[in-house]
Structure 1
């Protein structure tokens, strides 16, 4: 049952944990795109821009969504695009496995933060790889993977 005692947990989940999961996801796209020689721009949040840190844009509603845009791949193949689109979810999965291993080893305590982090990461993986287009016509990572395999070209930005 949700009580007033749970309000702090709610705020921490949505204003700290979820943005951290988003950053991990986008970092996966950024790292792999950079490996393939791309120029990167990425953001967390939506709405008006608060500030930039290098290629990272942080927007006012930083706790809602994220995106990564890349151009000028040095190694521009269908499979390089597939790996870039897949890498956000792979990073989320790697962090889930690492976090669970560290909890199992006693390095991290069993704590609601880690539970929520894993929960939101699984949510991100599922909805990133589920093929669909949002209301603006932008593809999910799964849809982008399907499109690049079927049509041989990528569509930017990636989520």
Structure 2
């Protein structure tokens, strides 16, 4: 991880390390795949899990439920993995404001970008660590979504200001 943190601020590896630090997670927090008997299918699912945080890092989406649902929508449009589609049902558990943001901002972003982007599951992230994250996004056909943390913070500040008046 120290090597990744030493990379230029626009490098994929640095973006990944910064995202892990900001979110308080590590690559070691991913559970191993269970209940899949076919060795090849188990490998694909394990690789998917290992790559999931890179998807977060290049999109900037946080691990809060709202960010996860947006990323799962992107993943479903991009990979067509059934479990990612099923994960989108979590949108029902979002608060009304979160659900509104999902349907007006993040679902359109997720489906547009997921469908047009190259298959992210085929990216060898280990070979991309020193590349510019902007260059990789452009090559894959992924536009970075609006910063969810910034939007949430601005909405909290707006509500706080309204209460103060």
TM range (shorter): under 0.3
When the two structures are superposed, what TM-score results if normalisation uses the length of structure 1?
A: 0.27
Which is richer in strand?
Answer: 1
Higher helix proportion: 2
| Higher RCO by CA contacts (8 Å cutoff, separation 6 or greater) | 2
Q: TM-score, normalised by structure 2?
A: 0.27
